Each structure stands twice: as structure tokens, then as C-alpha cells.
Structure 1
Amino acid sequence: MAEFGEIGSFTPWDYLIFALVLAISAAIGVYYYIVGMGKDTAQEFLTGGRQMSALPVSLSLTSSFMSAVTILGTPADVYRYGAMYSIFAISYAFVVFICAEIFLPVFYRLQITSTYEYLELRFNKSVRILGTLIFIIEMILYTGIVIYAPALALNQVSGFNLWGAMVATGLVCTFYCALGGLKAVIWTDVFQIIIMLAGFIAVIIRGVVVQGGIQKIIDDAHNGGRLNFWDFDPDPLRRHTFWTIVIGGTFLWTGIYGINQAQVQRYIACKTRFQAKLSLYFNLIGLWLILACAVLSGLILYSVFKDCDPWTSNEISALDQLMPYLVLLILKDFPGLPGLFVACAYCGTLSTVSSSINALAAVTVEDLIKPHTNLSEKKLSWLSKGMSVLYGILCIAMAAVASYMGSVIQAALSIFAIVGGPLLGLFSLGFFFPYANPLGAIIGLLVGFAMSLWVGVGAQIYPPLPSKSWPLPLSTAGCNFTTVANWTSSAEMTMMTTLMQPQISDRPAIADNWYSLSYLYFSILGTLVAVLVGLLVSVLTGGLKQNINPDYLFRKQDTSFFMLCSRKSETADKVEVLKWKSHSNPGVDNPVFVQDNLNLSELKGKV
């Protein structure tokens, strides 16, 4: 790049900072292993003893899914498609409100460890096992992408072997997750989100300085068509519009924050329901902050590379390498800062992978093993640690698949939409429809999953046309190529051929009308099909005649508004929970029905 000279390379200071971040993350796991010695129970390992407070949990919630996919993928998406991605801020607000006021109260009231315990309470054991298996598939696929993304970055900036970087990532998080359990995961998340923000801020400050101020960046983005916030086109085939992001994004992220074990496991670990709700609302601020940093980084990318795109000019091999390429370009004179950014991407991965591994271990032990065995708590604790190691190895193996899935941000969100949508529909059947029965739940889930999988796999085979995804133009006019003059023309022709390939190839009619559906609508499709089919089957198979315990349904009493109006105390709420437990007969093989240590008579006296 003529304006900045050659890109830099990793220095010993960069390696030192990067290694230090990994070492601190591992040390947190060792610390909580030592502190937790003598407390070898599955509950302690998987839920932290339910004694966490709102602030660390909120930071952990933010860190868990604001991963390297966000750090590398979102700026690249803004660079290629514009700043419309920032509209996700509206979706996040809707999602947090829905999860805090609808899903959290029910899960917290039932004192579950795995969200899939709820499915057995509301339906039966078969529904619970089916939901668990689908969740396991979802998280292994997603975690593979998350491991691949920062390994790609490290390969770009330091020349590390790609597979070596992926294996190292997986092993570090498997190590501290298996040792320290949920407490280690949450507190490493707190440390790691600080590093993530530091990496973003370093890039933003330096980017603003080298570009001559924030106004120059905004002007370049405006002239390049990147400030495309308000596109109200209702066409569901358009990749990103206001409607696809707000509506589709709300369904997608509700499936993540509302029912995904990796997130629910955190806020039900809080010591009170108020603290749990507070953690979600605090988390919203963190989501907005990370999103703002990612979008601004994408605009800086465009301002720097508006005249010489590194992707089109073959300086990099994938759009997700843009951020590390920028870092080596503008931070090369600041030893240690490139290492800080790579550590930032790695911290995003470590937090997400450790969350996924811990969640996978939780659902495997609680949903597939514990109900069918009589193992002691100590043995279940060691089994949970063993499951953490096993899933860490599986996730590393799945990282190889991620290298063939294109843009990491779209691939990650597509997996959550394809799998999370039908699961959201399944839980919605349980929460809102008292006449939904087990048969309707199973058939609804399977049909919803089949529909979303059909369109999702079709979209991978027949990617949407550029006329629907609307990539914005990139330029190589300002590049100083050292090769012959017609090399640029050749590169541009290759790029044009790539973009035109879907139009000139043999595409079935269904590809342009069904497979081109916005990936954000995959979740809506799966949710609605699961709910509608589930309700229809339930009504036809006697669902209207069943008698459902109202405690398994969403109640208006669970909302913050109702509690403020009635001034209902947290203690009185616990009395109600214990009353329900003492009069119910749910069976003996479900850990949700283990009595609390609270004394009912004492609580009555406090009310």
C-alpha cells in the first residue's frame, strides 16, 4: 500500500502480550480449580453454586457471543455491505427485554440447570432428549467456526500454522473450562472482554489519527455508500434491510439469549432473580458498545482501503483477514499493539468456546446421563470435566469444516438461525400454549428443523445473487502494483467472474426464490413452522383435553411491571416456588426437584 508502506510483522513484544493473555486465562481456571477443591459437585461445576452477581454475569453474557466472529466478521461485513449492520442495536434491545421478562423468570423459578429439563417438565422425556441432541449439534458446528476465525487471523499476521493455531485455541479453553467450571468461564470472560475492548479501541484511535479525524472517515463512508442505515425494502430475499435485521435479528438472537444453554446457564447462576434480570439489562449496554466498536472499525477499513481493496487485489485471501491486515498496516510502529489485537480476537474465541464447552457438558450430564444413572455428585462432577475435554476435542475437529463456509459472521448466524429457530418454536409451544402436547412438540420441532435446514443448505449450494445481497463496490484504482499493467485487469476480471458465477451457472428456479431468502429469516421460518405444525398436531391429538401445571407456562406475574405494581418481594416469590414444589409430584429422576435449603416456615415468617 503506497500510502502506508509495507505492512508490519509480529515482534517479540506482540508474541509476549499474546502469550500473556493466554496464560492469564489458563491461570484463572487453575485458581478456581484450587478454590473449588472440596466442592466436587455437578451443581458447583456447572452453575457456580448459583451465587454469582449481576455485573460479572452481564460481562460474561456479552463476551460469550461477541466472539472473534464479531471482531473479525462484523467490520468486514460493514466494509463490504455498509453500516446497516448497526441496526442490530434495535434487535438487541427487543431481545434483552423478551428474555428478561419472559424466558428468564420461568427458568429461574424452576431452578433448572439445563434448559432442556424444562422440556421434560412441560412435555416428556423424549422431547427433552430430542431438544438436547439438536442443541449439541448446533453448538459443535458454531464452536468450530469460532475456533477457525482467530486462527485465520493469527495465520495472517504472524505466519502461524493455521491448524496449529486452531488446536492451541481449543486446548487452552478446554483446559481452564475443565478445571474451573462455570466460575472460571465467567471470570475469564470478564478479563477477556476487557482485552477485546482494548484491541478495538487501539485500532479505532490509530485509525482516526492516520485518516485525519473522524469526519474524514464519515465522509469517505458517505461517498462510498456505506452509511446505508435506513433501507425499508420489505423484500424477504434482500440480505440486510431494516426489516430483516429488526424482525429476523430479534428472532435469531432470542433463540440465542432466551433458550440457548450457554447463555441461560449464566443468568440462572445469579443469586437472585433480580440480579439475573439486571445482568441481562447490563449486558445490553455491553452489546451496544461492542457493536459500535465493530461498525466503526468497518468504516475505518473502508476509509483506509477505499482506493485499493486488499481482497480484490489479492493481498489477502478472505474478507475476514481485513482487520488483522489493517492492524499490521497502521500499528506496525507500535510494538505490542498488533499482539493486543490478535489477543483481542483470541479472547473472543476463548470466551465463546469455553461457554459452549461448559454448556455442552451441562446438557450432556443433566439431560442424557444423570436421569438414567445413580452416580454420586462427586462422580458427576468428574464426568462433567471429562465431557468438557471430549467436547473441546470435537469442536477443534469441527473447525476444519468452518474453513469451507465463507464469511464467518454469516456462517455463524446462519447456524444459529437454522437450528435455533425450531428450538425457539419448541420452547414457545411450551411457554405460551397450554394445549400443546408432546406429540405436537416433537413433530413441530422436526418439521421446523427440516424446513430451515432445507433453505439453509440450499443457500450454501446456490448462494443468493448479488442483486439480492447487494455488495457495495470496491476499488483497486489507487493500488501501486509492481507487476505488469494488465495484472489489475486480470484481477478485476477474476473478481467479476466470481460475482457473476451464480448468474451464468445452471440455477434452478427455486434457488432465486427460496434459497435466496435472507439468512436472518431462517430463524423466523423455523420458529413459525414449529409452532404452527405443533399446534395443529396437538389439537388433532387431544391437546385441548390435557391439564397443564400453570407453573410451566409464562405468567404475567413474572414480569417486572407486575412485580413493581404488586410490590411482591423476592422472599414471597421463593415461598411460592417452595409451595409449588411441595405440592407437585414431578418424579425423582429430575434434579430440578431437589428441595432448596431454604426453610419454608422461616420464609413465611419473613413475609
Structure 2
Amino acid sequence: MNSLAEGLRLPTNGLDYTILAIYFVVVLGIGFAARSSIKTSLDFFLSGRSLPAWVTGLAFVSANLGATEILGMAANGAQYGVYTVHWYWIGAIPAMVFLGLVMMPFYYGSKVRSVPEFLLHRFGRSSHLLSSIIFAVSAVLIAGVNLYAMALVLEALLGWQQWVAIVVAGLFVLAYITVGGLSSAIYNEVLQFFVILAALIPLTIVGLKRVGGWSGITHSLSDSHGSAFLTAWKGTGIGSVNPLGANWLTIVLGLGFVMSFGYWTTNFAEVQRALSAKNLSAAKRTPLIAAFPKIFIPLVVVVPGLIALVMEPQLGKVKNLPYNDAIPVLMRDLLPNGVLGIAVTGLLAAFMAGMAANVSSFNTVFTYDIWSAYVKKDRPDSYYLNTGRVVTAVGVLIGMGTAFIAGSFSNIMNYLQTLFSFFNVPLFVVFIIGMFWKRTTAAAGFWGLLSGTVAAMLNYFWLYKGGVISIPSDQGANFVSSIVAFVVGAVVMVIVSYATKPRPVEKLQGLVYGTRSPGMDELPAEGDGAWYRRPALLGWGAVVLAALCYIPFSL
């Protein structure tokens, strides 16, 4: 679909192009600078496990700050209103804290190189291979979303056809990941984090001024969409009707627990950043540091979506102005040249961060967990380093193809959440039960993962899309699919576990809660033991702060 119509063409000039060109040069420069540090495959895929917590923490949040956040959450803000904050304060922060405090000691302490490799140690080869394939498929599908969003901006900026923009943008991302590996991606993500904020903060401030501040938004949208549109919980009682098409139970269980924990605790594109940290303490603090900026991202993503809806009441109601265009609409109408160049650069930075995160996770999982484990075993390390570079190119090419799938959705967040319910939730079921129940068997891991994935797909395509059950929105259907995947996967795991023989407890050290591996006893490095760096303080501080943020939107 051609979502950015001619009327949305951004009025760019030479100054905007200059800012964009400088950014591209810096990004490539970081890639070539990182190349000198790559000596082994571990350097290429996990930065040699050498990065400090503040770097991995900012990269963690930046890797997620791609199309999901910028176009997707702004689209959600325009379509669902303030209900969108649930994706942050209940749908991200608790799970990020759980990852840092509970799961990272197992991931990092066991010295695995990827999330599927943890399943290899816990459940064996069948679960490992199935999870590796699922990770690889989901990574390139999500990379395609970011690439598609990047193509939208290039289409607006240069007037290129989308397929041309997709190819050019994909090749650019390919260049700096192939050259500099994960280190290049991570250091660029730190840069991109600040560039993204430099783009979104002025857009939000100018937009608020144009519509008369928050009171102007409240007056306009309350009249057109009802007062509940600007609250977080009003209208979410069971049986009530709201734009989100979900009630408080499906929000808490479907989004806040199943989908959220499924994404943040098993998504290797995020976990990979923590695994690249220099020690266990830094690995645990990575998602906890990321949680604090994550709390405030709605101010520069969801609020612009509301502003766009005030300025363009036809947003989402006409074919050539879908919800995905909320941010480009504001850029076109509000920003002068120069600032517009920064905004465009910030959007491209976001999309490159999201795509790079998924491509780097794809090349790691494919090389370590599929190629070296089942196809070409026991080759020299240099062979796998070169394989990783080739696989990076393959991942980008596949991402170019999957980008066109994303183009068929008016709201790309709906598409992403559908993918998460299919792939991440069933993985979370296997992880959480396997990590906390010693009786869980290898066969249970495989069948739980397979049945959960199939159940989510059947619920979405057959029951929801087939019209067997009525759910008010795609997002509501995704919440239900997530709950179905979790329940079916968990029930199957319990049944199969009691029908098959478990592994001896001594072979589960460091893989199940209550057991420990030598890596989990690692002492904090000098300075890491300071009170303000304690993981528990950071984690619970983030949870309390996120809960307090609900107060102004719950009245």
C-alpha cells in the first residue's frame, strides 16, 4: 500500500539533507571503528562480553525504540488513546525488572551465547532446534517491520517508491552490521537513542503548543471520542466497550503478564544486549537501567499520536491516511527546515536500531544454534565468524521481503503484537515452567512450545479472523491469543512432564531456580556494589515509578 500520499511529502531542503548525510557518515564510521575489535566470533556476535552496563542499558531500550515505538505506538495513541500507556507501565516495566533480577543470572551465569542455547541445556536438542527456527523466523519478520517503516520515511523525504527505499535502507543497515558486528550495532544504538530523543522532544513540544497543551487535547478528543479515550482504565470493566477492545482482565493477564513477559524475557534481540555486558552485575543491571527511560517514552510517542489526531481528525478514517502516518503528519505540519532534518534523522535512527537489533539476533541464532549445531559442526572459529557475516546479508535480504507484509497493516503495532503472541508467548511458557519446575522434561519443553504456537495461530486465524468468535479489535484478539497460547502450552507441559522421565537434578545446575552454576556466584566488580547500583533497588524503584505514572490518567 502507498501510505504516504503526495500530500504528505515533507518539505525538505539542503539543510535537512546535510544533517541526514552527517548522521549516515557517523554511523558508518562507528561500524568501521568497531571492526578493529573483532578477532573472534564471540567478538562479532556478543562484543566479547566486554561492554559496561550503561552502554548495554541504553542499547537495550534503543533496540526496542524502533518502528514498534515510533510509528506503532504513535498509531496506537491515535487509534486507542491513553489506553496505549498500558504497553509501557504494565506491559514492559514489570517484565524488564523480572528479566534483570530473576532471569539474567541464569542466562549470563550459564554462559550461553543465545536464548535458544539455554533451552538446549535445559530441554535438549528437539526444543533447541524448534526454538531456534522460531527465533530466526520472528527476527526477520520483525526486522521487516522496521525496514518498512524506514522506507515510509524515505518515501516522504525523497519521493522514492517503497521498494526502492526498502532496498537502499536495507543495504545501508547491512553495511554497518557486517563490518562492525554487534559492537557496531550497540554503539550506534546508544547514539541513536539520543538522536531519537532530539527528534521527538521538539515535535512533542511544538505539537502541544499548536493544539493548546494537554487541555486542548482533552477538550478536542473528549468531544469526539469520549472522556474514557484519555484515561488508562475507565471503560475497561468486563462487558464494557472501549477503543482497545479489551477489559482489565485481558489487559493485566494478556498484555501485562503473558505477552509482556513473553516478549521481554525471551526476545533475543533484547537479551543479546545484556549478554554482551562485561560481567554478571552489568548484565543484571542492563534491563533495569533501560526501564527508567522506558517509563517516560510515552510522553514523546503516545502524546504525538494524540496531537496528530487533533490536527488531522480524518487520521485512520481514510485509506490514504492510516494511523501509521501520525508522526509524518506532525513532521509535515509543524517542523521548520533544519529541525525537520533532525526529526527525519531521528526516525531513520529508530528504524535502523530496531532492524539492526533483529538482524544481529538472527545472525547469532542462525550461526550458533542452527548452522554450527546441526549443519557444520566443529569448524574453526574463523569459519563461524565469516558465516555470521554471510548470514547477516541473508537476514537483511529476507527482511526486505517481509517488509512488504508489514505494509498490508494500517497499524503496524497490531502486526507486531500478532507476531509476539505467536512466537514469544509460547517460548515464555517453556522458559518459565522449565526454569521453576525441576520435574519438567525434555519432551514437555518441545510439545509445550509447539502446542502453544499452534494454539495462538488457530485462535487468531480460525476463531478470530474466521468469525467463529467476536472480538472488538485486533489488539483484543492478540491479548486473547496470548492467553490461549500460555494456557495450552502450560497444560501440555504439565501433562507430558508427568508422562515422561525427568532429567537428574544434578544435571540441572544453573538451569532451574534453586540450583546454581559457578557463573552465578561471580562477585561484583569494583564499584558495582555501590548502593545506587544494586539491582533490587533499581528494579523496585522502576516498578514503583511506573505505578505512580498511572495516577494522573486514572481519574
Work out whether the TM-score is over 0.5: yes
Contact 1:103 1:259 in 2 (8 A): no
1:73 corresponding residue in structure 2: 72
CA distance in 2, matches of 1:373, 1:187: 31
- Sort the Cα spacing of 1:539 and 1:354 in 2 relative to 1 into closer, same or farther, 3 A: same
CA distance in 2, matches of 1:295, 1:97: 22
Gaps of 5+ in 2: 1-6, 526-555
2:175 corresponding residue in structure 1: 175
CA distance in 2, matches of 1:544, 1:44: 33
1:397 positional shift? 1.4
1:229 corresponding residue in structure 2: 232
- Name the count of aligned residue pairs: 508
2:377 corresponding residue in structure 1: 373
1:534 corresponding residue in structure 2: 493
1:157 positional shift? 5.0
Contact 2:142 2:355 in 1 (8 A): no
- Sort the Cα spacing of 1:235 and 1:395 in 2 relative to 1 into closer, same or farther, 3 A: farther
Contact 2:462 2:468 in 1 (8 A): no
Contact 2:97 2:291 in 1 (8 A): no
CA distance in 2, matches of 1:390, 1:167: 13
Alignment of 1:552-571 (within 5 A): 552-555=511-514, 569-570=523-524
Contact 2:74 2:301 in 1 (8 A): yes
Partner AA of 1:16 in structure 2: T
CA distance in 2, matches of 1:406, 1:446: 30
Of the candidates 400, 413, 418, which is equivalent to residue 404 of structure 2?
A: 400
Contact 1:57 1:270 in 2 (8 A): yes
- Sort the Cα spacing of 1:269 and 1:236 in 2 relative to 1 into closer, same or farther, 3 A: farther
Secondary structure at the counterpart of residue 404 of structure 1: coil
1:435 and 2:394 equivalent? no
CA distance in 1, matches of 2:192, 2:69: 14
Of the candidates 305, 310, 314, which is equivalent to residue 309 of structure 1?
A: 314
CA distance in 1, matches of 2:474, 2:285: 40
Secondary structure at the counterpart of residue 91 of structure 1: coil
1:450 positional shift? 0.6
Largest Rg, 1 or 2 = 1
1:129 corresponding residue in structure 2: 129
Secondary structure at the counterpart of residue 510 of structure 2: helix
Secondary structure at the counterpart of residue 397 of structure 1: helix
1:288 positional shift? 1.5
1:46 and 2:49 equivalent? no
Contact 2:176 2:184 in 1 (8 A): yes
1:517 positional shift? 5.0
Gaps of 5+ in 1: 463-507, 572-607
CA distance in 2, matches of 1:156, 1:458: 37
- Sort the Cα spacing of 1:404 and 1:460 in 2 relative to 1 into closer, same or farther, 3 A: farther
1:518 positional shift? 2.9
CA distance in 1, matches of 2:496, 2:472: 29
Partner AA of 2:429 in structure 1: G
Cα RMSD after superposing both structures: 2.8
1:195 positional shift? 1.3
Alignment of 1:386-465 (within 5 A): 386-458=390-462, 461-462=465-466
- Sort the Cα spacing of 1:102 and 1:235 in 2 relative to 1 into closer, same or farther, 3 A: farther
Cα deviations by residue, 1:414-444 (Å, 9 ceiling, x for unpaired): 1012111111112123211211111121111
- Sort the Cα spacing of 1:444 and 1:6 in 2 relative to 1 into closer, same or farther, 3 A: closer
1:364 positional shift? 1.2
Percent identity, aligned pairs only, is: 22
1:246 corresponding residue in structure 2: 252
1:317 positional shift? 3.5
1:469 corresponding residue in structure 2: none
2:388 corresponding residue in structure 1: 384
Alignment of 1:53-92 (within 5 A): 53-88=52-87, 89-92=89-92
1:115 corresponding residue in structure 2: 115
Secondary structure at the counterpart of residue 553 of structure 1: coil
1:550 positional shift? 3.5
Partner AA of 2:496 in structure 1: V
1:516 positional shift? 8.7
CA distance in 1, matches of 2:213, 2:126: 59
Contact 1:60 1:186 in 2 (8 A): yes
Secondary structure at the counterpart of residue 92 of structure 2: helix
Secondary structure at the counterpart of residue 425 of structure 1: helix
CA distance in 2, matches of 1:278, 1:6: 42
CA distance in 1, matches of 2:315, 2:425: 36
1:338 corresponding residue in structure 2: 340
CA distance in 1, matches of 2:248, 2:25: 42
CA distance in 2, matches of 1:110, 1:311: 48
Alignment of 1:490-529 (within 5 A): 508-511=467-470, 518-529=477-488
Contact 1:244 1:518 in 2 (8 A): no
CA distance in 2, matches of 1:569, 1:223: 58
1:460 positional shift? 7.5
Cα deviations by residue, 1:127-151 (Å, 9 ceiling, x for unpaired): 1111101111111111112211231
- Sort the Cα spacing of 1:513 and 1:543 in 2 relative to 1 into closer, same or farther, 3 A: farther
